[in-house]
Structure 1
Amino acid sequence: MLRQWVQRFSLQSRAHADHYLFRTVCPKFSTSSIPFRRKDITGESTEDSLISEGESIEKNFTHETPKELLDNAAQYDNTVDTPDDMWTKGPYPHQSKYSQSQAKHSKRPDIDPRETSIILFPGQGTQYVGMAKDLLQYPSVEEMFQAASTILGYDLLKMCLHGPLESLTKTVHQQPAIFVTSLAAVEKMREERPSSLENCVGVAGFSLGEITALTFAGVFSFEDAIQLVKVRAEAMQLASELVPSGMMTVMYGPDSRLGFACSVAKEFCQHKELPLVDCRIANYLYPHCKVIAGNDEALSFIESNKSDFRLRRLKRLPVSGAFHTDLMRPAVAPLQEILKKIKVEKPLVPVHSNIDGKIYKNAAEVKKKLPKQVCSPVKWEQTMHIIYERSQGVPFPKTYECGPGNSLKNILKMINAKACDSCTSIGS
């Protein structure tokens, strides 16, 4: 039966794809044509498109340079112009409203980039028993854990140092643990690399790490941030308990049909009349690697039909819910309420949003975007392009990953190896 679902939607997808591509991407191409091989806007392989016989491919495109084409493609418009789009979009939407460089979304002081720094903060999944142990020697770290424990109502430091892992891995515990440990790593930098903190020109955080980044930038006080993280973790935990769901890392190739797989899996769940249904790309990590999230039934469907969708490798993540999907919408309202109660300041350091990679302009934007983040894809790959885009020969800033593990450094290596050469993990 599963194979019948794939075959039925495969036929529909091809018809919709041809109609969509000719109407929005290749309007200059005539229908009296011969095929040539190319890739669609998502970077995934699609059916052959068409050009007039005897004409070269180049003749059908504008005279923009490759750099201009990339800049025009790398905007962040989440809307689609047609209901015929049956697959999840790739990192860079098919149409851009403005012609501008990605670098314009990041701060670039007129000094040697090697004298500046970028700080990155990790999210869930980086926790381990014993984290923060080596950070207790630095000033204020123990006091930070004590203050957090008072607000949370349990001994956070004890859980970080001794576990058990089962408790530490729970969303309600690991989010505060990673948050405080990441800021403790900043205290290590303050002692050992003070100039790197003073010369910081931008910060970004992965999912939970975005709150850490905003706290570092002075948007929240430490105590208010702990309350925010507590509410976020509890709300996401409750949302994840409403429906069995999860997340899965997907490695894929140019011939894979990942977006199509998510669409078919979602339809499969809707056919089973599940009360809440979603399946989509939740994290854009690096080329040919994304994290999808959705109902357990949807993920199982994709696992069972892996070869039909030409997916390379699948790995379930040890998380309790489908974070950054519509299944997390119940968590939005509690976040909106807590943000009304705590003080929110304008960032003192540029902070890049997970939703679109752009820098938060003011406190109002933080209040608007941050609640939406829990049910929106984390556009990390796009954010890294915004931060690290450079002309050839221009050096990169120093980068520091503050928090447990070195997952963000490993991802950066897959996106921009040269930028990663200047990256250091300030671990725990």
Structure 2
Amino acid sequence: NVMLSGYLIARMADVAAQDKLGRTPLHNAVAAGCDDLAKGLIEEKADVNARTKDGKTVLSIELGRPKRQSKELENLLTEKMGLPFPKGYVKNMLRDLPPSFALLFPGQGSQRQGMLGWAEGHETAWPMIQKAGEILGYDLFDLTEMGPEEKLDALEVCQPAVFVAAMCGLEWLKEQEGKDRSEAAAAAGVSCGELAALCTAGCFSFEDGVRLAQLRGELMKKAVEEHKEPQKMISVVGLTDDEAESLCEEFGGLGGGDGDVANRLFPCGVALPWLSDPGHWSGSEFLERGAQKVADLKGCNAAFHTELMKPAEADFRQHLLEMVRANVLHSPEITVYSSQTGERWLPGTPATSIVEGLVQGLSCPNQWEDTCRAIIDDGVEFFWEIGPMKQQSWRSC
């Protein structure tokens, strides 16, 4: 990459060019940790004072980078910007702009009884809940308040419920904290939480999001029923991905593909698909092999993000493509990070790319750790988790 960039510079490429986020090649080089390339761009008179659309300077991105090996680039930028201040002062000086934030949305398993109780009668959230009930064909508020819990945990119910809770949560955030979704630098969500992230980014309306979440749950339920044995998800903390996959192979995981890890949550923390038959292995072998904790994931009654969800893909893709043709699925207005790969769906990304990402998300493992690292590496300074329970914040710190 450095050699290619050097070639482009030699061919007089425009070092002041800006992308849709207002980032110059220098901004991107610093964000990616390419110090040598950044120095080369500075030598080519790249503007060290240029700001992105959200107000970030090259120096603020450098100071926000984790695990910097040296302060050489910081010192060079400070010198070029004409900032004769002590090193500790520079970082504080750059805080004149509001810190950037990302919105994170949990997936299925975060639902709980009473999660919409706060919104009853709320000026903006309550009409959303009523509209969702009309679309779904049942009283969503009554179900989340009164249960039964088993019905709330059903795939075709919990997914739209989690989506609605997330979108209502944005109204709370605006009212209580003064943070509007349009001010966010990025959004991301785990599993069905990705629908909330995309709706937040303006990819589709709230109403279409409710329909999409319900359809996703129905198709996944149908895929589950094709597999005769009951399923669940378990979380394992304290083992590497390789160790967890090896034990799955030894003791009978349920992934159906080359690997059984369904969600890489954080370092040495994974979610695995498993049989929920009481006679099946309980998980003690993981503890004997060094795991710190093994637990069932409440409300996750399917082998999510594995090959067993393949039967749901075709109908889900067809529905999403119909949304594209009807011009109700759009490019995002803010950056959305895919929870499968950490890929950035930037403003202007074709809606068809988002379609494929959502479809792949049914049967491909979630890479939540990579997603959070990508957001942090891009300079986002803190997260707001929007949902009924604290499912993400402890994972993404």
Q: Which residue identity lines up with residue 181 of structure 1 in the other structure?
A: A
- Of 232, 243, 252, the match for 1:246: 232
TM-score relative to the length of structure 1: 0.64
- Which secondary structure does the structure 2 equivalent of 1:241 belong to? helix
**Corresponding position: 1:281 with 2:261:** yes
Alignment of 1:130-145 (within 5 A): 130-145=114-129
**Corresponding position: 1:257 with 2:243:** yes
**Corresponding position: 1:220 with 2:204:** yes
Tell me how far 1:383 sits from its aligned partner: 0.8
Structure 2 gap ranges (5+): 1-28, 35-51, 57-94
Whole-angstrom CA distance in 2 between matches of 1:174 and 1:182 = 12
Q: 1:400 to 1:344 in 2, by over 3 A?
A: same
Tell me how far 1:127 sits from its aligned partner: 1.2
Alignment of 1:109-124 (within 5 A): 109-111=54-56, 112=95, 114-124=98-108
Check whether the contact 1:256–1:311 (CA below 8 A) recurs between aligned residues. no
- Counterpart of 1:314? 294
Tell me how far 1:328 sits from its aligned partner: 0.7
Alignment of 1:1-400 (within 5 A): 109-111=54-56, 112=95, 114-243=98-227, 244=229, 245-253=231-239, 257-265=243-251, 280-295=260-275, 300-301=280-281, 303=283, 305-306=285-286, 309-318=289-298, 319-342=300-323, 343-360=328-345, 361-389=349-377, 397-400=381-384
Whole-angstrom CA distance in 2 between matches of 1:384 and 1:127 = 22
Whole-angstrom CA distance in 2 between matches of 1:301 and 1:165 = 25
Q: 1:388 to 1:114 in 2, by over 3 A?
A: farther
What are the superposed Cα offsets for residues 180-211 of structure 1, whole Å, 9 maximum, x if unpaired?
01100111122233445342110001111100
Whole-angstrom CA distance in 1 between matches of 2:243 and 2:148 = 40
What are the superposed Cα offsets for residues 283-323 of structure 1, whole Å, 9 maximum, x if unpaired?
111112111114558x9458364367443432222322100
Whole-angstrom CA distance in 1 between matches of 2:108 and 2:185 = 25
Tell me how far 1:108 sits from its aligned partner: 8.7
Q: Which residue identity lines up with residue 153 of structure 1 in the other structure?
A: G
Q: 1:223 to 1:287 in 2, by over 3 A?
A: same
Check whether the contact 1:206–1:354 (CA below 8 A) recurs between aligned residues. yes
Tell me how far 1:255 sits from its aligned partner: 11
Q: CA RMSD in A?
A: 3.1
What are the superposed Cα offsets for residues 321-369 of structure 1, whole Å, 9 maximum, x if unpaired?
1000001111111211211222210000111111111112221111111
Check whether the contact 2:241–2:270 (CA below 8 A) recurs between aligned residues. no
Q: 1:278 to 1:147 in 2, by over 3 A?
A: farther
**Corresponding position: 1:401 with 2:385:** yes
Whole-angstrom CA distance in 2 between matches of 1:219 and 1:198 = 13
Check whether the contact 1:255–1:310 (CA below 8 A) recurs between aligned residues. no
Whole-angstrom CA distance in 2 between matches of 1:125 and 1:269 = 19
Equivalent residue pairs, number: 303
Tell me how far 1:213 sits from its aligned partner: 0.5
- Which secondary structure does the structure 2 equivalent of 1:172 belong to? helix
- Counterpart of 1:45? none
Q: Which residue identity lines up with residue 250 of structure 2 in the other structure?
A: V
Check whether the contact 2:254–2:274 (CA below 8 A) recurs between aligned residues. no
Check whether the contact 2:287–2:293 (CA below 8 A) recurs between aligned residues. no
- Which secondary structure does the structure 2 equivalent of 1:218 belong to? coil
- Which secondary structure does the structure 2 equivalent of 1:151 belong to? helix
- Which secondary structure does the structure 2 equivalent of 1:207 belong to? coil
What are the superposed Cα offsets for residues 150-189 of structure 1, whole Å, 9 maximum, x if unpaired?
2211111111122121211111111111110110011112
Check whether the contact 2:257–2:306 (CA below 8 A) recurs between aligned residues. no
Q: Which residue identity lines up with residue 227 of structure 1 in the other structure?
A: R
- Counterpart of 1:68? none
- Counterpart of 2:91? none
Q: 1:194 to 1:103 in 2, by over 3 A?
A: farther
Percentage of pairs with the same residue: 28
Whole-angstrom CA distance in 2 between matches of 1:103 and 1:158 = 51
Whole-angstrom CA distance in 1 between matches of 2:211 and 2:364 = 22
Whole-angstrom CA distance in 2 between matches of 1:169 and 1:264 = 30
- Counterpart of 2:73? none
Q: Which residue identity lines up with residue 114 of structure 2 in the other structure?
A: G
Q: 1:181 to 1:409 in 2, by over 3 A?
A: same
- Of 394, 410, 416, the match for 2:394: 410
Check whether the contact 1:282–1:291 (CA below 8 A) recurs between aligned residues. yes
- Which secondary structure does the structure 2 equivalent of 1:291 belong to? strand
Check whether the contact 1:136–1:142 (CA below 8 A) recurs between aligned residues. yes
Q: Which residue identity lines up with residue 207 of structure 1 in the other structure?
A: S
